[in-house]
A and B are shown apart, each in its own frame.
Chain A
């Protein structure tokens, strides 16, 4: 059953906001151009950013191994290498998930400047350890 007011779901991608799209494309190209070495320090920094309530606050919605208070709004963040072999997918999700899925409760961390592109990279380094 779709939510009221919505003819069908998922939303046809052609209807996503165009400006957001081009911004995202830019971010993706920029991200793809950078090699992303996962230093241990980046993993630790990424973990801190992910758990920090004023930054990622990922635990509000996801369960993460070792995190307190499991949440079930989004799926458990685990087995990330297998599920997201393509790093660009994670960049896209963390930059603007509502652009991929218009009803996604997940905030558009990148587009809304809650996380910088650099912080997103660090969080992804951390995610790949899960």
Chain B
């Protein structure tokens, strides 16, 4: 039996809006999607849903929106479980590659305080590059092997870059290039599409139900959802990058997780981070 995949309300909404535009204003049929307008609406939704949560707090996910979680967090933060990752990351960051160059040579401002500008659209490839992708490209261009983008040393390096960017608001750029806008749109489409055997979308869990309890977890609001990455999760017993988290969530929808560097995940992260423009980086983070 063929089961039609349910169009998410978002897709439907856009379809209807487009249809209305076509019907009422044929001259404006080519109206482009305006990410900035969408970002404002996205943020307004969460500010209205959580009127007591300060903008700066959204990156703290479950702790921003749940009081009892917040208490546990304060206790956990007396000995932040990501300290070891920062130590490991700093040692690696300062160590020269075999060719004498360093990580710092690959990044703007020597890699200090730039995490909020990732993911980036790269004109040369026409694709989105995540922070972890940039770290691996740096390694490969300097004759080193790429790292596992999910955890371990990669998470430690990402932690170092987040640490030096704390407090800097997300500043994702969509350059004036149709391929960049297309990447944003694909990310948006992914976020709102129902996938996997369960047929649920990212939005199903991180929009309206944000702040609600799902077994032991409190669902993080989609706004600021990348700001604490990488995170130490007690669940995992180790550090994980944003890609590790996206794979875990794919798995929960009973969808086959994509390859870690799949373009779909990069576009998704591009969209989510753009939606969080203005929300400060708080990573590395810790989660129950």
Q: Are B8 and A102 in contact (CB under 8 A)?
A: yes
Counting chain A residues whose Cβ lies within 8 A of the other chain, the interface size class is 20 to 34
A60 & B214 in contact (Cβ 8 Å cutoff)? yes
A69 to B216, CA, bound (A): 6
Tell me the complex Cα distance, A107–B201, Å: 10
A-chain residues with CB within 8 Å of residue B25 when the two chains form the complex:
none
Residues from chain B with a CB closer than 8 A to the CB of A114 are: 197-198, 254
Residues on A with C-beta less than 8 A from B45 are: 1-4
Q: Is B248 an interface residue (CB 8 A)?
A: no
| Docked complex Cα distance between A14 and B168 (Å) | 46
A71 interface neighbour in B9, B13, B49, B212, Cβ under 8 Å: B212
**Which residues of A1-21 are within 8 A (CB) of B?**
1-7, 9, 11, 15, 17, 19-20
Given the interface pairs A73-B209, A114-B197, the reply to whether A20 lies near B4 with Cβ below 8 Å is yes
Write the A69-88 contact mask toward B (1 if CB under 8 angstroms, else 0): 11111000000000000000
Chain A binding surface SS class:
loop
A9 to B12, CA, bound (A): 12
Name the residue in A1, A2, A4, A19 with the highest tally of chain B Cβ atoms < 10 Å from its Cβ. A4
What total count of A-B pairs have CB within 8 Å?
97
Task: Give per-residue flags for B1-24: 1 if the beta carbon is below 8 A from chain A beta carbons, else 0.
Answer: 101101111101110110000000
Residues of A within 8 A of B85 (CB): none
Nearest CB in chain A: distance from B193 CB, A:
12
Interface residues on chain B, size class: 35 or more
- Distance from B52 Cβ to chain A, minimum over Cβ atoms (Å): 15
Closest to A111 in B: B3
Docked Cα-Cα span, A118 to B274, in Å, equals 45
B9 and A103 form a contact (CB under 8 A): yes
B261 in contact (CB, < 8 A): no
| Contact, CB under 8 Å: B8 / A3 | no
- Taking a contact as CB atoms under 8 Å apart, the answer to whether B41 and A72 are in contact is no
Contact with A along B217-237 (1 / 0, CB 8 A): 001000000000000000000
Q: Is the CB of B219 within 8 A of A6?
A: no
B17 touching A7 by the CB < 8 A rule? yes
Cβ of B134 < 8 Å from any Cβ of A?
A: no
Asked if residues A103 and B199 are in contact (CB atoms below 8 Å), the reply is no
Q: B216 contacts A17, CB within 8 Å?
A: no
A5/B4 in contact, CB under 8 A: no
Interface residue B192 (Cβ < 8 Å from any Cβ of A): yes
Q: Whole-angstrom distance from the CB of B268 to the nearest CB of chain A?
A: 16
Determine if B98 is an interface residue (Cβ-Cβ < 8 Å).
no
Contact A111 B199 (CB under 8 A): yes
The answer to whether A28 has its CB under 8 Å from any CB of chain B is no
On whether the beta carbons of B13 and A6 are closer than 8 Å, the reply is yes
- Name the one of A59, A71, A72, A98 contacting B6, with C-beta atoms under 8 angstroms: A98
Q: Give the nearest-CB partner of B206 in chain A.
A: A105
Complex CA–CA separation, A59 to B254 (angstroms): 16
Q: Which residues, 73 to 130 on A, are CB-close (under 8 Å) to B?
A: 73, 98-99, 102-105, 107-108, 111-114
Does B205 touch A at the CB level, under 8 Å? yes
- Asked if B203 and A3 sit within 8 Å, CB to CB, the answer is yes
Contact call B38/A5, Cβ cutoff below 8 A: yes
Contacts of A19 in B (CB 8 A): 4
| B188-211 Cβ-contact flags toward A at 8 Å (1 or 0) | 000010100111100111011100
Instruction: Known A-B contacts: A69-B215, A98-B194, A103-B203. Give 7 more (CB < 8 A).
Output: A1-B44, A1-B48, A5-B9, A17-B7, A61-B214, A103-B208, A114-B254
